[in-house]
Amino acid sequence: MNLPNPVVSSALAAGGRLAVVAEDGRLTYDELHRAVRAVSLTLSARLNVGDRVGLWGPPTAAYVVAFHALFYLGAEVAPLSERGTFDELAAALRTLKPTSILVVGPASEAADRAFAEAGVPVIPLAATVLSGGLSPADAEAIERWWPDDEPRLCILTSGTTGAPKAVSLSTAQLTFGAMGSALRLGHLPTDRWLACLPLHHIGGAMIVFRCALYGTTLELHPRFDARLVSERLRSGEVTQVSLVPPMLEALVEAQGGLGGNCALGGPPAHALLRLVLVGGGPMSTSLRRRCQSLGLPVATTWGMTESAAQVATATPGDVDGILRPLPFVRVTAEDDGRLVLRGPQVGHERLVTSDLGRVHEDGSVTVLGRLDDLIVSGGAKISPSEVEAVIETHPDVAECVVVGLSDDRFGARPLALIVLRDVVKSLDVEGLRVFCRQALTPYKCPDVFLAVPREAFPRSALGKLDRPALIESLPDLLSKLERNCP
């Protein structure tokens, strides 16, 4: 089965509707279509159907044009981090192995060095592409329909081990993933999705694809700014936003943000905001409760790059955050607790994930953590996520990370690293120990509780906890804490 190009479809259905709003300009779907066709004609002399093309550039309207122009040609788009260091970009290129690189605007020094070292042809695309387009006299680029099994997008993901791998996603995976999201979360022609996630991650890239498929507006931000995002959620123009938990936490805490007694005044968000999609990691119970008290329409989600983002998603405003599989994917659990996916979102194949969880009788899914994060203590398996979820319900705790600490008798025992709330002066270790024993079996309760500053937790560009990096730095962290003890 072949599918028509979504930008063409949206231009035909609602050409005058805003497609993209960004710092460098805004485009209607008619204007986006014309710019995409113009760029695709320019690129067609150098690119072929099926080429894997690296795409580097800041999150601008010109980037969106380039993204869709590569799709228009039938290339496989491989987004690159525009903030990546030389080492990061060089490693990404070695893994992605693109045939060429399309660069939107002037490249950074690190990017130029990495591209030169890789020896891959670089195609510069001026940011003035937005002022281009085709006149009726120009030769038209013929719309190319997409085979459902054709590679469409290639995302670099680190997985659970930190070793990068290239995940290739087909037309069918992107389309079924986007349609499943719309069926779960709803879809209105007036929707505007604020995108502040990095576009080289699946979460950001899928917003670009979804908006084009739905014919709705994409609002691009160059980076996450808690105060600016807060203002936009109050504006009445933004109806949807995607965040990871640290972003939502910053949004709630921001001066003039979503907390009580806002400097901006008024409610935490406009009544037209109907979705705050939160994924990329577990959301603490305390943060969920704060969002509930503010009336924010939070929908938690679990997914991965291999499934084109969302797999199981709660309905907006569901205070319990119950994850239910999207329509085009099925979730089961192996005997060892690993969650398994089937359906067109994973290419009609059976994907055994590294996520641990339970599938309940009503079909809902509980995600308990990652296989590689398990702590094996005296032969028993302890899920750090389960312990963290309990500790983070304590009123003194802002954030908790549980890791395994080497133990001569048991092999390993859980250690709880805790970020205290600003109003809390010191860590009540015995109180936390009693609190844990009320909710957890004894062997799951941490032996050691340590207060650490928030910056002690290394994070990825997306703001997610980098657990492998934390474990690697744990000896230095413990040594530093010991030296600072009175």
- Full set of structural domains in the chain with CATH: 2-208 (3.40.50.12780), 224-372 (3.40.50.12780), 374-484 (3.30.300.30)
As averages over each run of 10 residues, the pLDDT of the chain (486 residues) reads: 94 96 95 93 92 97 96 97 91 95 94 95 78 48 89 81 79 97 95 96 96 98 93 94 89 59 59 92 80 89 94 89 94 92 88 91 89 82 88 92 87 92 89 92 92 89 80 84 57
Which residues have a Cβ under 8 Å from the Cβ of 111 and sit 6 or more positions away? Answer: 56, 80, 82, 84, 89, 103
The answer to whether the beta carbons of residues 64 and 22 sit under 8 Å apart is: yes
- By residue count, the chain amounts to 486
Q: How confident is the model at residue 160, as a pLDDT? A: 39
Cross-sheet strand order for the sheet of 122-125: 122-125, 100-104, 52-56, 76-79, 151-157, 165-170
Owner of token pair 């037209």:
272
For residue 482, the model assigns a pLDDT of 65
Distance of CA 431 to the CA centre of its chain: 35
Q: Which helix (H) or strand (E) covers residue 481, if one does?
A: helix 467-484
Whose tokens are 């965040």? That residue is 243
Residue 349 CA: distances (Å) to CA of 92, 306, 376: 26, 11, 31
Cα–Cα distance, 114 to 48 (Å, whole number): 23
At 257 the pLDDT is 43
Structure tokens at 5: 């190009």
Whole-model pTM: value is: 0.83
